[in-house]
A and B are shown apart, each in its own frame.
Chain A
Amino acid sequence: MSNSLTLAPAPRSEAAEQVRAEVREFLAAELAAGTFRTHVDTWLSGVDPEFSKKLGERGWLGMTWPKKYGGHERSAMERYAVTEELLAAGAPVAAHWIADRQSGPNLLTYGTEKQRQEILPRIVAGECYFVIGMSEPDSGSDLASIRTKATRNGDGDWVVNGAKVWTSNAHHSHYGIVLVRTSPSDSANRHAGMSQLLIDLSLPGITINPIRILDGGHHFNEVVFDDVVVPGDMLLGEEGNGWHQVTAELAFERSGPERFLSTYPLVAEFGRRVAETGDPAQLAVLGRLSARVLALRQMSLRIAAALDRGELPNIPAALVKDVGTTFEADVIEEIRKVVDVTPSLDSPDPLARALAEAQLHQPGFTLRGGTNEILRGIVARGLGLR
């Protein structure tokens, strides 16, 4: 295809297959020991700091980062293998997920030496968690309309006022990377005047209010900043460059296996059922779903390989997220058409539980990280239409 959506196939990585086997062995032992139970959508809902620390001890966090910050200097393909094994097993990875996926790379690109040395080794150890402060009550995907404001006071510190929403697991997290206005909004250039601040969430003036989702779970929050004084040296990157920084960050946010594996534990449970029944209609659905998983893996692996080459493939990443999150939601409908199971969070039947969890989490898949309509707009740009 002669457009900007195509990436070269990923080379095979023996190192990735080796670490995959190690993770599988680890997960089997943890499951056998009962330290976790498989769930759907665990990168949002599976907060378990002990588990995150174990992953840190195994060297499976900050995998691609420089050794001088505690990282392991491994390839994006190896990291990919680790993350998808964790997701496929429905392991509790939410505590560290954002820090490892996004905030760490963000600090590596834009952070000061002091910020990096102070924070990155703690992320690698599985002991420091982050939230993304992008959306606001009146700004969903329209990030350029944010109003949270930071102004310099006489000491050169930032005084932050405003509110961020959908901040996943803010109540368990240590820092937020928060997009703020540092200059008044300019209708001629909507993307100007924004900056990113690295904010310690224990600072006075920060209130974290829970926003519960459909299953009653508390993952999202509203984080309110009321005259919060943020030290002047906690600016991330360049003042006024916030929009560019956020856009670049999104390639990490949008391309990973978490964008198509959120409901994989339901597929796995369905697979167990099909193995038992041998039902031809169920087999056909499992085959169709599997073909979609395989295609998404290939697409996502191509992005991991591009990251290894030092590229930031924003447009293909938007496309993977669009196709992937649509799949995550479709899984539910495809499966329920061929099984006679009533979804229930309390059911003794694991398939009924997985269906219930997936259904109640489903509306989020195609919203978080940019709605699919926004993503398709980005893809359309890649097709040369905008």
Chain B
Amino acid sequence: MATDQDLVVETVRDILGSHEPFVLTADRRWDEGLWTALAEAGLTGVGLPEEAGGSGGELADAVAIVRTLAAGAAAVPVAEQLLVAGPALVAADLELPSPEQATTFAIADSVTVHPVDDGDGPGRFTLSGTVPDVPWAGAASSVVVLAPAPAGLEGSVLALVDVSSLPATDAFNLAGEPRGTLVLDQVGAIGALLTPAQADEVRARYALARAVQLAAALEQVLAWTVQYAGERHQFGRPLGKFQAIQMELAEMAGEVTAVTALTDAATQALDRAENVVLAAAAAKVRAGAAVEVVARLAHQVHGAIGFTQEHKLHHLTRRLWSWRDEAGSELVWSRVLASGLLADGPDGLWPALTRVG
């Protein structure tokens, strides 16, 4: 029986399929045509409440969309919009920009925030400073930033900045996805003050969004590699019949299965709003760790052809190498995870593990 989620995935696949697949054009950096098609189908507002201007639906639907697009190496800021920026705005009671306009997310640790008191009530700020590593800089029209609270206040400010007229420096991750720097000079923004715990949750959402993308790309890389091993003949038989290759594919499958199980669990934790930070941290760490094994063995099995631009493999392996270090590396999140698990003292590790998942 087809569930609603299957239908959502099918719709995204149809759009991806009828669209010129990004995976065949290595130099395209932002897929505006694909974005427009997704937006017109209402898919860029899934999981965001209708009363806030979104398309409604569950977190699981949004995750399914992000997964499908990640596996298709689609160059659109859907993960940022559906899993990070949109939900963070909703949680902070801030107005959503139209979901048809691309909104991205960035951590702005070195930006200075000043409250503006112009008689229009609270929630108005000016922001100054540079924001590095902005995903889809130059493509998105708004960016939700998480910045330190104004002097004298605790926590962080979540602010929605219109960047449609702001220049961004050109910079790209290993996969060629835009990761530029924005310079803010007394830019006005609508925002809300978050407690440290709320700010941690926003960071965790960002990490989980990347983990979800990693999980989908890891699965797809495994599927491509299994398929290739079945088709490519060497020494008179398919690669997949060689025991040495079977061992490598099985090792990849183990990594992929572990990542999928943990990412699913973290998504459920987010849905239930329980242990979000630690569950997301674990998913990001585990997914990042799998990249080394899966990308290395995928290239090994594909042989030299997989090392070329003409083959599709690099569209996902380069994303794997990029995404594992974005939104906080394994080093960052492994420390967050360990500190959190030890929060109840030296004997609290096991109870904490079973609580997180």
- The answer on a CB contact under 8 Å between A1 and B256 is yes
Closest Cβ neighbor of B246 among chain A residues: A380
State how many angstroms separate the Cβ of B128 from the closest Cβ of chain A. 32
Bound complex: CA A376 to CA B257 (Å)? 14
Interface size class of B (residues with CB under 8 A): 35 or more
Annotate A244-267 by CB proximity to B: 1 below 8 A, 0 otherwise: 000000000000000000001001
B261 CB contact (under 8 Å) in A9, A24, A280: A9
Annotate B223-243 by CB proximity to A: 1 below 8 A, 0 otherwise: 100100110000000001101
Q: Is B286 an interface residue (CB 8 A)?
A: yes
Q: Is A298 an interface residue (CB 8 A)?
A: yes
Bound complex: CA A272 to CA B350 (Å)? 11
State how many angstroms separate the Cβ of B282 from the closest Cβ of chain A. 4
Query: Across the interface, which residues of B come within 8 angstroms of A382, CB to CB?
Result: 253
Query: Across the interface, which residues of B come within 8 angstroms of A29, CB to CB?
Result: none
Query: Across the interface, which residues of B come within 8 angstroms of A299, CB to CB?
Result: 257-258, 261
- The answer on a CB contact under 8 Å between B286 and A292 is yes
Q: Is B342 an interface residue (CB 8 A)?
A: yes
- The answer on a CB contact under 8 Å between B265 and A323 is no
Annotate A122-161 by CB proximity to B: 1 below 8 A, 0 otherwise: 0000000000000000000000000000000000000000
Q: Is B351 an interface residue (CB 8 A)?
A: yes
Q: Is A274 an interface residue (CB 8 A)?
A: yes
- The answer on a CB contact under 8 Å between A295 and B335 is no
State how many angstroms separate the Cβ of B313 from the closest Cβ of chain A. 18
Q: Is A275 an interface residue (CB 8 A)?
A: yes
Bound complex: CA A5 to CA B219 (Å)? 12
- Kindly specify which of A186-194, A207-215, A283-291 makes contact with the partner chain: A283-291
Given the interface contacts A283-B338, A283-B339, does A298 sit within 8 Å of B250 by beta carbon?
no
- Kindly specify which of B118-126, B149-157, B326-334 makes contact with the partner chain: B326-334
Given the interface contacts A287-B336, A379-B254, does A295 sit within 8 Å of B262 by beta carbon?
yes
Q: Is A354 an interface residue (CB 8 A)?
A: no
* Residues of A in contact, count (CB < 8 Å): 53
Q: Is B84 an interface residue (CB 8 A)?
A: no
Closest Cβ neighbor of B225 among chain A residues: A383
Closest Cβ neighbor of A265 among chain B residues: B350
Query: Across the interface, which residues of A come within 8 angstroms of B331, CB to CB?
Result: 284
State how many angstroms separate the Cβ of B303 from the closest Cβ of chain A. 17
Bound complex: CA A292 to CA B249 (Å)? 20
Query: Across the interface, which residues of A come within 8 angstroms of B345, CB to CB?
Result: 275
Query: Across the interface, which residues of A come within 8 angstroms of B247, CB to CB?
Result: 373, 376, 380
Q: Is A202 an interface residue (CB 8 A)?
A: no
Q: Is B10 an interface residue (CB 8 A)?
A: no
- The answer on a CB contact under 8 Å between B264 and A383 is no
Q: Is B94 an interface residue (CB 8 A)?
A: no
Query: Across the interface, which residues of B come within 8 angstroms of A296, CB to CB?
Result: 258
- The answer on a CB contact under 8 Å between B268 and A379 is no
- The answer on a CB contact under 8 Å between B250 and A322 is yes
- The answer on a CB contact under 8 Å between B334 and A271 is no
- The answer on a CB contact under 8 Å between B223 and A298 is no
State how many angstroms separate the Cβ of B331 from the closest Cβ of chain A. 6
Annotate A63-101 by CB proximity to B: 1 below 8 A, 0 otherwise: 000000000000000000000100011000000000000
- The answer on a CB contact under 8 Å between A1 and B341 is no
State how many angstroms separate the Cβ of A54 from the closest Cβ of chain B. 21
Interface residues of A in 21-45 (CB under 8 A from B): 24
Q: Is A240 an interface residue (CB 8 A)?
A: no
Bound complex: CA A275 to CA B339 (Å)? 8
Query: Across the interface, which residues of B come within 8 angstroms of A271, CB to CB?
Result: 341-342, 346, 349
State how many angstroms separate the Cβ of A87 from the closest Cβ of chain B. 10
Interface residues of A in 192-237 (CB under 8 A from B): none
Closest Cβ neighbor of A302 among chain B residues: B261
Inter-chain contact total with CB atoms closer than 8 Å: 161
Given the interface contacts A377-B243, A386-B246, does A323 sit within 8 Å of B338 by beta carbon?
no
- The answer on a CB contact under 8 Å between A294 and B257 is no
Bound complex: CA A229 to CA B263 (Å)? 54
Given the interface contacts A272-B347, A283-B334, A295-B261, does A290 sit within 8 Å of B282 by beta carbon?
yes
Bound complex: CA A264 to CA B349 (Å)? 11
Query: Across the interface, which residues of B come within 8 angstroms of A298, CB to CB?
Result: 258, 261-262, 264-265, 357
Most-contacted residue by chain A among B247, B254, B265 (CB, 10 A)? B254
Given the interface contacts A284-B334, A319-B254, does A383 sit within 8 Å of B226 by beta carbon?
yes
Closest Cβ neighbor of A383 among chain B residues: B226
Closest Cβ neighbor of A316 among chain B residues: B257
- The answer on a CB contact under 8 Å between A287 and B347 is no
Query: Across the interface, which residues of B come within 8 angstroms of A302, CB to CB?
Result: 261
Closest Cβ neighbor of B219 among chain A residues: A1
State how many angstroms separate the Cβ of A142 from the closest Cβ of chain B. 14
Q: Is A20 an interface residue (CB 8 A)?
A: yes
- The answer on a CB contact under 8 Å between B257 and A9 is no
- The answer on a CB contact under 8 Å between B289 and A291 is yes
- The answer on a CB contact under 8 Å between B335 and A291 is no
Bound complex: CA A230 to CA B161 (Å)? 82
Q: Is B193 an interface residue (CB 8 A)?
A: no
Given the interface contacts A1-B257, A297-B353, does A288 sit within 8 Å of B342 by beta carbon?
no
Annotate A294-330 by CB proximity to B: 1 below 8 A, 0 otherwise: 1111110010000000000000100100110010000
Closest Cβ neighbor of B262 among chain A residues: A295
State how many angstroms separate the Cβ of B205 from the closest Cβ of chain A. 18
- The answer on a CB contact under 8 Å between B350 and A294 is no
Q: Is A14 an interface residue (CB 8 A)?
A: no
- The answer on a CB contact under 8 Å between B261 and A290 is no
Query: Across the interface, which residues of A come within 8 angstroms of B229, CB to CB?
Result: 385
Query: Across the interface, which residues of A come within 8 angstroms of B219, CB to CB?
Result: 1
Query: Across the interface, which residues of A come within 8 angstroms of B338, CB to CB?
Result: 274, 283-284, 286-287, 290
Q: Is A268 an interface residue (CB 8 A)?
A: yes
Q: Is B174 an interface residue (CB 8 A)?
A: no
Query: Across the interface, which residues of A come within 8 angstroms of B282, CB to CB?
Result: 290-291, 294-295
Annotate A348-386 by CB proximity to B: 1 below 8 A, 0 otherwise: 000000000000000000000000010111011011111
Q: A290-B337, A294-B262 are in contact. List 13 more A-B contacts (CB 8 A).
A: A5-B257, A264-B350, A271-B342, A272-B347, A274-B342, A287-B285, A294-B265, A295-B258, A323-B255, A379-B250, A380-B249, A383-B226, A385-B246
The 6 closest A-B pairs by CB, nearest first: A287-B334, A376-B250, A380-B246, A298-B261, A379-B250, A275-B346
Residues of A within 8 A of B (CB): 1-3, 5-6, 9, 20, 24, 84, 88-89, 264, 267-268, 271-272, 274-276, 280, 283-288, 290-299, 302, 316, 319, 322-323, 326, 373, 375-377, 379-380, 382-386
Pairs across A and B, CB under 8 Å, 11 listed: A1-B256, A268-B350, A272-B346, A286-B334, A290-B334, A291-B337, A294-B357, A299-B257, A323-B254, A380-B247, A383-B249
